[in-house]
Amino acid sequence: MSVIQKLVLFCLKSIENQRTAYAILHLLNGKKSSQTIQDAHLFHLKQYFHVLPHLTREEFNQILDFLIEKNYVTCLNEGTYRITEKGDIYIQVHAEPILPIYLNGWSYNRMDKLFWERLSLMVQVISNLVAYNGRYLPIQNNKPHLDWIKNFIQRNRFNRYELATQLFKELQHLFTNKKIDPLILILRLTGSKRIGLTAHQAAEQLQMSVLTYHLHFTNVIHMILTEVKGKTSYPLLEQLLETEEKNEWIHLTQSTRKTAIYLNQGYDIEDIIKIRQLKQGTIEDHIVELAIIDSSFDIDIYVPPEVQRNIMKTSTNGIKQLKYIRQSVPEASYFQIRLVLAKHKSAVSV
C-alpha cells in the first residue's frame, strides 16, 4: 500500500463514518471552510490539513476504489465508508511508523511554500557566492524573495566561505538522525555547478509517484520548520522564518495584521484572497484599515495619483459622502474612494 492510501485509510478510521469521504479530500486539500476546519480539530487530523493541495477528486476516488477492492473499507451508503476489521488490523500492525511523522499541516500550511522558496534560493545564492559566479538565473522569481535574500546576504556578509560552511553544518546537523530520507530535499537543491531536480524528476529518481513524493517533501519541510523554530543552533536557517512586521501594526486587528504581512512580502490582493480564502471586500477593508494606521503606507498602486487628486478635490468641497463622490468621480471605485479618504484621515459617512 502506498503512503497516500495508508493516509486515507487512517483518516477514514478517524472520522468513523460520521462524515462523507470527501470531507477527507477537503482536509488534505486544505479547504478553508468552517466545516473542514472543525473536522480537522474534532477528529484530531489537524496535522494532515493541506498536506496534499493538488490531490484531485479522481485520484481520491481511485484510492477509495483500491481500499474497497482490498476489503479494507466497505461502502455504507452514498459517500460514507466504514473501516473493516481487516483494515483495522492493518493499521494496528503497521501502526509505527505508518505515516510521515513530522507533518504538521495545520501550523505550517502557509509557511512551508515560503520556506522552501527561500531555502532553495539561499543555497543557490551562497553556492554561487563562493564560486565567485555572478551570472546565474535565480530559480525563484518572486520579487519579495529576491529582495529578502539580497538583504540577508548584506546582513551576513562576513567571510563568504564561513557562510557556506555554516549553512552546510546546519543542514548536515538538521538531517542527521531523522526519520526521513534527506535526498527527498537535497536532490532539489541547485548550486553553482549542479542544477537541482524538479519535483517530477526527484520523484522519478526516488521511484515514487509525484503525489507520494509531494507528501514526503512536505514532511521534510515540516520537520525542518519544527526543528529550526526557536532554537539557537540554526542561526542561518532561523532567519528564513522571518516575517517583517512594523511597530505600528500592533494597533491593527489580528486579521488585518496578517494581510499586512502578506502585502509587505509583496503578495497582491489576488494572491492574498487565494491564500487566505477571504473575500475581496474583506481584504479591501484590511487595506483601508492599514492606510489609516500606517502613515507610510503607499496607496498609489491602488489608486492612480490623478484619481486621488480628483477624489480629494471633490471631498474638500466639504462633501464626505461616498455616494456623491462616486457620482462626481466615476472612474474611481468605492474601494479607491474609501482608501483615499482613509489615507487623508477624513471621516466618511456612507
Residue ranges binding another protein (CB under 8 A): 120, 123, 126-127, 130-132, 134-141, 161, 164-165, 167-168, 171-172, 175, 181-183, 186-187, 189-201, 268-270, 300-302, 304-305
Pick the closer one to another protein by CB: 122 or 325. 122
How many other C-beta atoms are found inside a 10 Å radius of the C-beta of residue 70?
Answer: 15
CB of 246 to another protein, least distance (A): 20
CB of 188 to another protein, least distance (A): 9
From the list 91, 92, 119, 94, the residue with the least C-alpha distance to 217 is 119
Bridge partners of residue 12, in order along the sequence:
none
Pick the closer one to another protein by CB: 168 or 324. 168
Pick the closer one to another protein by CB: 45 or 185. 185
Q: Residue 266: helix, strand or coil by DSSP?
A: coil
CB of 136 to another protein, least distance (A): 7
Report d(CA 256, CA 303) in Å as an integer.
Answer: 20
From the list 259, 254, 333, the residue with the least C-alpha distance to 291 is 259
Pick the closer one to another protein by CB: 245 or 268. 268
Report d(CA 23, CA 270) in Å as an integer.
Answer: 26
CB of 319 to another protein, least distance (A): 26
| Contact yes or no for 291/342 (Cβ under 8 A) | yes
C-alpha cell at 184: 527527498
C-alpha cell at 274: 487565494
CB of 138 to another protein, least distance (A): 8
Pick the closer one to another protein by CB: 140 or 264. 140
C-alpha to C-alpha distances, 51 to 66, 141, 210, 217, 302, nearest whole angstrom: 21, 24, 13, 10, 34
CB of 113 to another protein, least distance (A): 11
Looking up cell 493541506 gives: 50
Pick the closer one to another protein by CB: 132 or 347. 132
Looking up cell 546582513 gives: 155
| Contact yes or no for 45/19 (Cβ under 8 A) | no
CB of 244 to another protein, least distance (A): 19
Pick the closer one to another protein by CB: 242 or 270. 270
